[in-house]
Amino acid sequence: MGILEVKGVGKRFGGLQALGDVNLSVQENTVHAIIGPNGAGKSTLLNCLVGKLIPDTGSVTFDGQSVLGRKPHEINQMGISRVFQTPEIFGDLTVMENVLIPCFAKRDGSFRMHAYESIEQEPDILQKAEQMLIDVNMIDKRHMNGSSLSRGDKRRLEMAMCLVQDPRLLLLDEPTAGMARADTNNTIDLLKEIKEQRDITMAIIEHDMHVVFSLADRITVLAQGTPLVEDTPDNIKGHPKVKEAYLGE
């Protein structure tokens, strides 16, 4: 049994069958990559895991408990955090404030803006947020506004906002999309560090094969809403079906 079990998940948008019959088992403490061409249904699948979409068919369980029918914040409290395809940070808040928000959200299930005003009375949370910023090398930027960060730093901050919740499962939707090579390599290093330092499972959607092959323990190839093949990176590299469907050969 994997920490995440997806069974027979289907999702239709009007006449479009975005997900057909998805079965996926993600084992604890592994990095599981989901690859596939544009429109294959990768983001739709992720949305079904975090309560943003409700599948038409099938089941999704995390650590043996169904996530279907739960609200995104409830799924978050179960131990699943998500990095979005475009960074979702608060541009007019500081780096520190951005990291404090998910701390409160995890503890209280919600966030009240005036939580900042009483932050001195929350030494544990403050310390946790500070340590997180040290871990991702952003403590020097704690007073900067989110909107003034580079794209790479926005991504890094978003990662920190997820990790500060100590998730058991981290979902990443194209974490290096739009990044220059140097930022991509920094992100790979950061994710490798996270993998080594923590008991964490990651499911990562990624276009960049360099990222996938640097990080993944298992790879599922999704094509037209259905898993085509699942295997180790070495086996995926030479797989004829993958070359045909994904690389267009």
* Binding residues for Mg ion (CB under 5 A): 42-43
Residues in 3-62 at the binding interface with ligand ADP, rule: CB under 6 A: 13, 16, 18, 36, 38-44
Q: How far is the CB of 16 from ligand ADP (least distance, A)?
A: 6
Q: Which is nearer to Mg ion, 36 or 79 (CB)?
A: 36
Residues 85 and 82: their CA atoms lie apart, in Å, by 10
**CB count in 10 Å sphere of residue 32:** 23
**Under a CB-based contact definition with an 8 Å cutoff, are residues 205 and 31 in contact?**
no
The one of Mg ion, ligand ADP, none whose footprint includes residue 40, by CB under 5 to 8 A per kind, is ligand ADP
Distances (CA, A) of 201 to 18, 93, 170: 25, 29, 6
Give the binding-site size for ligand ADP (rule: CB under 6 A): 11
- Which residue type, as a one-letter code, is found at position 109? G
Q: How far is the CB of 207 from ligand ADP (least distance, A)?
A: 9
- In DSSP notation, 2-54 reads -SEEEEEEEEEETTEEEEEEEEEEE-TT-EEEEE--TTSSHHHHHHHHTTSS-
The DSSP bridge pattern shows strands 4-13 and 16-26 to be: antiparallel
Residues in 194-233 at the binding interface with ligand ADP, rule: CB under 6 A: none
**Under a CB-based contact definition with an 8 Å cutoff, are residues 32 and 202 in contact?**
yes
Tokens of 88: 């979702």
Tokens of 141: 């930027």
The one of ligand ADP, Mg ion, none whose footprint includes residue 10, by CB under 5 to 8 A per kind, is none
Tokens of 140: 């020097």
Q: How far is the CB of 44 from ligand ADP (least distance, A)?
A: 3
Q: How far is the CB of 53 from ligand ADP (least distance, A)?
A: 8
Bridge partners (DSSP) listed for residue 81? 170
CA Rg value for the chain? 18
Q: How far is the CB of 35 from Mg ion (least distance, A)?
A: 11
Q: Which residue is nearest to Mg ion (CB)?
A: 43
The one of ligand ADP, Mg ion, none whose footprint includes residue 54, by CB under 5 to 8 A per kind, is none
Q: Which is nearer to ligand ADP, 43 or 98 (CB)?
A: 43
Q: Which is nearer to ligand ADP, 36 or 146 (CB)?
A: 36
Tokens of 173: 């939707």
Q: How far is the CB of 39 from ligand ADP (least distance, A)?
A: 4
Could you say whether residue 134 binds ligand ADP (CB under 6 A)?
no
Q: Which is nearer to Mg ion, 95 or 203 (CB)?
A: 203
The one of Mg ion, ligand ADP, none whose footprint includes residue 1, by CB under 5 to 8 A per kind, is none
Q: How far is the CB of 13 from ligand ADP (least distance, A)?
A: 3
Per-residue burial over 220-231, b if 16 or more Cβ lie within 10 Å, else e, is bbbbebbbbbbe
* Residue ranges in contact with ligand ADP by CB under 6 A: 13, 16, 18, 36, 38-44
